[in-house]
Chain A
Amino acid sequence: MTRTLLTGNGAAAWGARLAATDYIPAFPITPQTEIIESLSTWIDRDEMTARMVTMESEHSMITAAAAAAASGIRVFSATSSQGLLYGMEMLYTVSGWRAPFVLVNVSRGLASPITLEPDHNDIMAARDCGFLQIHCSTCQEVLDSTLMAFRLAEHERIRLPVIVNMDGFYLSFTREPVEVPDPAAAKRFVGDYDAENIRFRASAPVSQAVAVIGGAPYSYFRYETHMAAQNGLDVYDELSIAFADQFDRSYPAIDAYRSEDADIVFVMLGSFATKAKAAVDRLRAAGHSVGLLRPRLIRPFPAGLFRNLLAGKAAAAVIDQNLSTGMGGVLHAELAAALYGAADAPSRLLSFIGGLGGRDISLEEFYQIAKVTRTAVAEQKTPPPRLLYTEQELREMRKLQAVASVERDELNNSKGLSRD
């Protein structure tokens, strides 16, 4: 076993390389660009045989990816944030083509205001589009999930595109020790792509299109896609077992960390969940019965598994790194929907919003979340959702606003404009 230091972006590129991707339509965006830079370097050096085409937008990139997938070849692409949103029309469109491919999204907060740093609002915006979603928390997981994603996407009971998600900066630009699988072993795991009835060959032109249709047949096709996505739960389980057998690394649909005998459980996605693990270890050392559930699979949503893993717990504290404006944390709402009516569901389900635009979530904040949750259990009262935002942060914000206001007045005065 040799381990090497790779960023999340490097790990994603290795995943695409080891899966023997044939075609990569690309468009750069921070913090994803390093993925396509790595792939183009390898192609240029003949270390990888694939065709890369730089497109003029993500909208075209997603279209090209799906069109290529619809010709029966293996396709990889990557984007982030505003790029994912720019391609959104085609995300919905191409999932309906039922042509599988893998798209890596490097999460980054959405405008406005503009940020380069991560949160999950970009990927949450894509949760209803028909792509399956795997969320990663380490660089190793990015590589392994990319390999798994091809098999998931191409599986005969699914045949849908899959998004592998990683956080910008905290994974994309962060190097960690990663074991890069032996190419032959990776090839054995991913296997050859059987495109079934999807084929397009030179000198044999065919038309491929979808029709304009009314409600009932439309409903049929949409619901078939939904059922295919739901098949992902069983297929994913089979795949994760096969992966563990071959590579000795286990990735269940929900990563359960010290949760089995825990009274209180943190629930969160992505790279900051490793920070939650560190907090769990220290809370345990301090005598608190705390665990973590980290869903890797978000589409399909592992509702049944959540119900099982949370059965009999006193409380769950959901930490959302996203904000559905006018509603709250997306994962919190989805988990509440999954638990509703379950006889032994936790009686307290708390909501915390944190890490928006890359804001850190400190160890002390995890401790405090655990404390607030313990209090909620003791007092049998669920507190309102809590934004992780401190007095000092507001004070700094007020200072910036004061500076902005003075500067604007000075500028306007100097130009003879009135104050407003």
Chain B
Amino acid sequence: MYRIRFHGRGGQGMKTASRILGTAFFLQGYEIQDAPRYGAERRGAPIFAYVRANDQPIFERGIITRPDLVVVADDSLVPVPAAGVLTGVDRHTVLLINSDQTAETWQHRLNLDSRIITLPAETTERDELRFIGATCTGAAARLLGVITRASMEQAIEQELADLGDALIEKNLSRALLAYDSMQPHHGCVNPASDTDATAYTAPSWIDLPFDEARIAAPDIRAAANSVQIKTGLWRTLRPVIDYERCNRCWWVCSTFCPDGAIKVDDKTPVIDYDHCKGCMVCVAQCPPHAIEAIPETLAQEQEAAEETTS
């Protein structure tokens, strides 16, 4: 049985990527199972999705603890423990990371004996960000080696049917480009053998100790702590105010901001980037169109460059 896990951020299309791959397997005659997994349903939150494919009915269910292939759409998730990118990764696992760092760098950083393959990093062009899922799924299909180009095409057409021809075409071109680019690694993913019922590591079950309610009650008791949560880390796009064009109306952007993250001092709006989630409501509402949306990665690079020069 093949076990594949996709990791990305909410909004990057990991669920769709897993569905395209699941459908492609299904078209090849496999029994399949695909599912997304998320906690908070919001853009930018770490999510994963998984696919199982086998030549017989699949009884296994739920999270994949020993993946054959892990696909990472956003390399900033690799070091985030909560994202669980490296869970169950061992030497038989192939890691496919979308990154502008090389495979050697990742090998060095992670010190894993897994095979690591990188996809050329997502471009900072805002329009291109939308197709990262298609790129990931096309590359993954080639690494598996059992999915034909034709099945890949058909799977995309089927899964994205509601989006219209133009978008299907764009996704197809990215997916097939990635599929072709992985030719040197064709079929490098191998299914792990199943855990044997004779030689297995017994779970280390324990008797849960009793804790008093002051410890064991699931309550949060702290004063004014919501400000401590840097919700700005969720942002994938950053709104930037062009003060040349801002007409100092003093209220539109700050009123519409659903998170109260725009403060107005002396008629000048200032965005609190620690807490702006990047919803872009202000961008849509600003009457003189003085707020621009910039990919967060690009904005951070610019900031870093400015810091070095100053």
Q: Residues of A at under 8 Å CB distance from B? A: 5, 7, 30, 112-113, 116, 169-170, 173-177, 271-272, 274-275, 277-279, 281-283, 285-286, 288, 360, 362-365, 367-368, 370-371, 386-392, 394, 401, 407-408, 411-412, 415, 417
Contact = CB atoms under 8 A, between A and B. Distances in A.
Interface string B65-81: 10000000000000000
Given A174-B34, A360-B63, A401-B215, A285 B197 contact: yes
A283 B59 CA distance: 14
A370 B215 CA distance: 34
Given A275-B60, A275-B62, A389-B208, A362 B203 contact: yes
B222 A411 contact: yes
A109 to B, nearest CB: 12
B195 interface: yes
Nearest to B1: A278
Contacts, number: 119
B39 interface: yes
B26 A286 contact: no
B218 A286 contact: no
Contact of A275 (B37, B39, B61, B215): B61
A61 B82 CA distance: 37
A408 B222 contact: yes
A282 B197 contact: yes
Interface string B25-39: 010000111111101
A170 B61 contact: yes
B205 A175 contact: no
A387 B208 contact: yes
B185 to A, nearest CB: 27
B206 A5 contact: no
Interface string B195-208: 11110111111101
Interface string B19-53: 10011001000011111110101000000000000
Contacts of B105: none
Nearest to B37: A169
Contacts of B196: 282, 286
Q: Name B's interface SS.
A: loop
17 contacts: A169-B35, A170-B35, A177-B32, A272-B62, A274-B60, A275-B59, A279-B197, A282-B196, A362-B203, A363-B195, A370-B197, A387-B205, A390-B204, A411-B222, A411-B223, A412-B222, A415-B224
A278 B62 CA distance: 13
Contacts of A113: 218
Nearest to B30: A177
Contacts of A411: 222-225, 228
Interface string B143-186: 00000000000000000000000000000000000000000000
Nearest to B219: A112
A388 B206 CA distance: 8
B245 interface: no
Contacts of B198: 286
Nearest to B38: A116
Given A275-B61, A364-B195, 12 more contacts: A30-B41, A274-B58, A274-B60, A275-B62, A281-B59, A365-B203, A387-B208, A388-B205, A389-B205, A407-B222, A408-B222, A412-B222
Contacts of B41: 30
Given A390-B205, A408-B221, A411-B222, A283 B228 contact: no
Contacts of A415: 223-224
B194 interface: yes
B224 A394 contact: no
A180 to B, nearest CB: 14
Across the A-B interface, the 9 shortest Cβ-Cβ residue pairs: A278-B59, A113-B218, A286-B197, A174-B35, A391-B204, A282-B197, A274-B59, A286-B198, A277-B59
Contacts of B39: 116
B19 to A, nearest CB: 7
Nearest to B51: A175
Contacts of B224: 411, 415
Contacts of B35: 7, 169-170, 173-175
Given A286-B197, A394-B206, A177 B59 contact: no
A5 B222 contact: no
Contacts of A368: 202-203, 205
Contacts of B222: 407-408, 411-412
A265 to B, nearest CB: 16
B54 to A, nearest CB: 11
Contact of B32 (A176, A281, A360): A176
Contact of A175 (B33, B63, B195): B33
A390 B205 CA distance: 4
Contacts of B31: 177
B215 A390 contact: no
B205 A386 contact: yes
